[in-house]
Structure 1
Amino acid sequence: MIPRLGMSSIKRNFSSRVIPKLMTPRQLLKAIEKPDHQFKVVDASWHMPNANRSPLAEFEKGRRLPNAVFFDHDKIADLTYAGGLPHMRPNLDTFRVAMNDLGISASDTVVFYDSLGIFSAPRAAWLLHSFHHPSIAVLDGGLPRWIAEGLPTDSGPPSSVKKLDYQLIGSHEECEGKRSVTSYDDIITNITDQRMEILDARPRPRFEGTAPEPRASLSSGHIPGSISLPFSELLATHNEGYRTFLSPEKLEEVFTSTFGSAERWEAVKQGEKELVTSCGSGMTACIIWLAIQICSGGDQAKVKVYDESWTGYASRPGSPIAMNLKGEQDK
């Protein structure tokens, strides 16, 4: 976490992007109880379209964390993207306006949480990380863990937010997202040259082509050469109904098993082999992204998100689609 700094100090000390941290509810409560704290608590809940839930309505009604603001994934996005894909990474102007509206400054530590424990909060953390926000955290266990631990919540209409003038830390070129996002053309090229590893966070039956996609008319299957790693395998489910990340040691075991060898995983962790994460629409791919940040303990790993993910890939005519009808994944 960064101390209180002026903008010039932040820019002078900003040599690389800070890796998002996990916080427990007790850690966050202790931080926000200090009168001069610079923590901004943000509800980044999002649900699959077939869940028939409105995260904004739930936020406004409560319960929610004290003084939290709401991050709308489908509005803080590129709404002009070809094909109408949801919550695609926005441009610089859209991002800055969103930060202003949420009352976030570049000197704030932004702590994201969601209503499932760990689901959509990592996506918001990845987005701010891609724009070089210097201090980010994710509440491990989210709102349900906070409630389960008996901590205070707000309900009813949220308070109004004082708008700010958000100042980007990185240069415009650094914030364009080239270090954070992989394109469709890169994915197609990788099918033949295998320059990158690709991990797919969707449930394995959808990856194998044995179960349908939740989006109508979209084929299931996977990108040739990609590896299945359902995001649920990186999480622990608790009796109270929420999910948290596995310990770093357990995450190491999962990644080693997924890649088939410690050497292959080490090459990814040390940045010797570029990694791309994918899922249905770019949401749970960020759970893998954050798990790797937790394991690597720094910015050595070269991890990008395929923002279009399977929805964009499978919607494009002529995209090669692999199916493992016997459940044998490509490696």
Structure 2
Amino acid sequence: MNAIISAAELASESKGPNPPVLLDVRWQLTLATAAGQPPFDGRAAYEAGHIPGAVYVDLDTALAGPAGTGGRHPLPDLDVFGAAMRAAGVRADRPVVVYDGGQGWAAARAWWLLRWAGHPSVRVLDGGLAAWSGESATGTESVEPGDFVPRPDSIPALTADDAAVLAREGLLLDARAGERYRGEVEPIDRVGGHIPGAVSAPTTENVTPDGRFLPAAQLTERFDALGTSAVSRVGVYCGSGVSGAHEVLALAVAGIEAELYVGSWSEWSADESRPVATGPNP
């Protein structure tokens, strides 16, 4: 099954015999809030307008555990995650479509996490809510509870040690902005730079200005130039396992399997014993 779905396809499937469960996971990474401006509130945005039938899922509390030694967005507690998915109506026998406000990072995190937890059919709405031109709903939705029970490790997740090995023996892509990879700036973590041997591949270069993914052929060409065709394993990391999931999704659109290092730079850089490289791609 394709990893993404267009708004037109979603509209059609929603009228079919087995309509997908819809999850709204709007979220924004806020590095700094302007004076007098409150931080982004995904739930408020959802209640102000969403695709009919969608249920809001909070990334920070349902799709990640508390920040700590495992990074800013480590894997969530399975009981918490499973309960959130069932409350949102997720079932093992129904497809799931996830969307966010258009950037795609949060939706990709939910997509990856559900696949890691064993759900057989998950897709991301290409272009997010901005691509939807159908009816909208306000307030909250009442849905029948689902029966989904997570089965962790249904797809691989990299540890810090795994990522270090993959950077040497396979291909490890860094999905962050190039200036963070090079160590020129670091707005969040202890130190700038990248995992030695990793290759810079900003996930923002996988999409068009409106947030839709580039055609699969273009993505394949891009990733081939970065070295995917020369290795048997590909891994991805970012700052905290969110934008990295978006790169894993882009790789899936291109037909390339990749593994996510969930702890990413926020975990790696917090450990002063781990090496840090700076500068451009090797």
Q: Is the TM value for this pair above 0.5?
A: yes
Residue 227 of structure 1 aligns with an amino acid whose one-letter code is: V
Residue 226 of structure 2 aligns with an amino acid whose one-letter code is: T
Which of these two proteins has the greater Rg computed from alpha carbons?
Answer: 1
Change (3 A) 1:75 1:20: farther
- Using the alignment, how far apart are the partners of 1:59 and 1:214 within structure 2? 28
- Using the alignment, how far apart are the partners of 2:65 and 2:105 within structure 1? 22
Identity %: 29
- Using the alignment, how far apart are the partners of 2:191 and 2:149 within structure 1? 42
Partner of 2:277: 322
Q: Structure 2 length as normaliser, TM-score? A: 0.90
Partner of 2:229: 266
Partner of 1:165: 147
Partner of 1:46: 27
Q: Structure 1 length as normaliser, TM-score? A: 0.77
> How far off its partner does 1:56 sit?
1.6
Secondary structure at the residue paired with 2:60?
Answer: coil
- Does the Cα contact within 8 Å between 1:20 and 1:135 map onto a contact in 2? no
> What is the CA deviation profile of residues 109-152 of structure 1, one whole-angstrom value per residue up to 9, with x for unaligned ones?
10011102422211111111111211111110110111xxx321
1:225 to 185, 197, 206: 197
- Does the Cα contact within 8 Å between 2:63 and 2:110 map onto a contact in 1? no
- Using the alignment, how far apart are the partners of 1:77 and 1:66 within structure 2? 22
- Using the alignment, how far apart are the partners of 1:188 and 1:243 within structure 2? 31
Change (3 A) 1:235 1:210: same
2:163 to 177, 181, 187: 187
- Superposed counterparts of 1:1-331, under 5 Å: 19-34=1-16, 36-50=17-31, 52-60=39-47, 62-77=48-63, 79=65, 82-83=68-69, 85-146=71-132, 150-155=133-138, 157-167=139-149, 175-177=151-153, 179-190=155-166, 194-211=168-185, 213-215=186-188, 218-237=190-209, 242-259=210-227, 265-268=228-231, 273-296=232-255, 301-324=256-279, 328-330=280-282
- Using the alignment, how far apart are the partners of 1:231 and 1:80 within structure 2? 25
- Does the Cα contact within 8 Å between 2:166 and 2:234 map onto a contact in 1? no
> How far off its partner does 1:79 sit?
3.0
Aligned length: 276
Q: CA RMSD in A?
A: 2.1
Secondary structure at the residue paired with 2:212?
Answer: strand
Give ranges in structure 1 of 5+ residues lacking alignment: 1-18, 169-174, 260-264
Change (3 A) 1:176 1:119: closer
- Does the Cα contact within 8 Å between 1:41 and 1:68 map onto a contact in 2? yes
